[in-house]
Every structure is written in structure tokens, then in C-alpha cells.
Amino acid sequence: MSWSTHLRSAQDFVKIGDEVEAQILTLDREDRKMSLGMKQLHPDPWTDITTKYPVGSTHTGTVRNYTNFGVFVELEEGIDGLVYISDLSWTKKIKHPSDFTSVGDQLEVQVLELDVEGRKLNLGHKQTQDNPWDAHEATYAIDSVHEGTITEKNDKGATVNFADGVEGFAPSRHLDKEDGGKLEKGDTVQFKVLEFSKEYRRVVVSHTSIFKEEEKKNVKAASKKAAEAEKTTLGDIGGLADLKKKMEGGK
């Protein structure tokens, strides 16, 4: 009845008593049976798919269904594609597509892959927007320090939320405070960036490294000062020895 791949009831197309135009598909004279088709009276929308929906092109479609792994978006009757959950947002960690969109919503998408033979489209929504991680790469440079709030915590570490919506992860050993305690959920403190991956949208941070680094600097400075003091003392001793020699020589 339709080129659409979505399963719908025949009642969505016709009602008893309607007159319809159909094409004969098969004919069995012996059993006095024939099969008819209605969609065959209309062009197959996949015929010129590469022209209408080339890879990289952007379109607006209708959300028809979703599963645990993505959203099915219909671009026109008979042509729909899948938006994987990882291609819905650059920043949000979406557990289920229903948390991001609803059936019937209009969604802007970009064609990522096109399989004409398999009649499959791979679509993306986040690709229609600028990737904020391009800017985050400069902001969250290694060793840069930012204020963040711990929003979740478990045995492995804590999730840290920063002002611009970026989430970082602080391993448990990097949650030690200078007073010997541990940071807890809800604490807002300074964190140093240890790792940054734009590809995997991953930021590893540490609070402990901030004061540990300061301790190292203090120890280094103290060692340098002690070495200089020792050098000065040795110089004084050497000077006294020279003076003693001169005095003894004068005698």
C-alpha cells in the first residue's frame, strides 16, 4: 500500500467502500487469486535517492519511532533513516532517545551514510550544529585549572560539572583534600586538567594535584635555599682557612 517501511494498519490507508486504483502484481487463474499493489502506482522514492539525499546534506524529518540505540526519522514517505543515540548531542549523555525527543517531533538531521542497495540511511542530528568540543579543546588545556562541582560519586571516582556544561571525571585518588579528607558530592572546588580527548569527549581532572604540585614547589624551593645556605657556609669556612694561612705565614 505504501513505500513507507513503518508498519501501519490497512485502515490508515483505506476504508470499506472506498474505490482505489491498484496494479496487478500476480495472477493465479487456477486458484482464481490475484495480488494487487497500490504503492506501485507511485515512483519508488529510492530511485533518485543519491540526488535528493546526498551524503553531507541537511534535512528536516519526523521522528517516527525509537529504540534503545537510536531514533528513526522519516524524511518523506518511504525514506527514513536511523540516528544513533551517540549522534543526537555533542554534550548531553543520553541514556535513552526518549529523553531527548518524542515521536512526531521535527528533527533536523544530516545524511552521514547512504546504502542504496541495502536501502539504509545513517543520519546524525548533532552534526547539524557546531561541535563545542573544538572550543573546549583550547579551554581545557592540560594543566589548566577550573572550578567545578561534584555531581556524582562512586568507588571509582566522581563526575565533575563545570560552568559551561562540560563534564569531567576525577579518579578516586585525585579527590584527596589538603587536610587529608575526601571531596564529596556537592563540593565545589578547583580542579586541574590531566587528560583531554575531543574524540571521546573525555576530560580527566584532579583536585589533589593542585596542592601536591604546590607542595613539590615548596620542597624544591626549600631544597634550593638550603643548598645556597650550605654553599655560603662552605665559602665562609674556606675564607677563614685562607685568612689563617696568611696569618701563620706572617709569623
Q: How do residues 74-111 score in pLDDT, each as one tens digit?
A: 998 889 999 999 999 987 878 899 999 999 999 999 99
Please state the rounded mean pLDDT for residues 162-187: 93
- CA dist., res. 3 & res. 44, Å (int): 7
Q: How do residues 131-170 score in pLDDT, each as one tens digit?
A: 988 889 999 999 999 999 999 999 999 999 998 889 999 9
Domain of residue 27: give its range: 10-41
Q: What is the pTM of this model?
A: 0.59
pLDDT band (50, 70, 90) for residue 232: low
- CA dist., res. 67 & res. 205, Å (int): 34
145 shares its domain with 206: yes
- CA dist., res. 206 & res. 160, Å (int): 10
60 shares its domain with 90: yes
Domain limit, last residue, from 128, 148, 171: 128
- CA dist., res. 223 & res. 233, Å (int): 15
58 shares its domain with 118: yes
* Domain-located, residue 46: no
* Domain-located, residue 219: no
Total number of domains constituting the chain: 3
CATH number of the domain where residue 120 is located: 2.40.50.140
* Domain-located, residue 158: yes
- Write the CB contacts of 44 (distance below 8 Å, at least 6 apart in sequence): 3, 78
Domain limit, last residue, from 75, 107, 128: 128
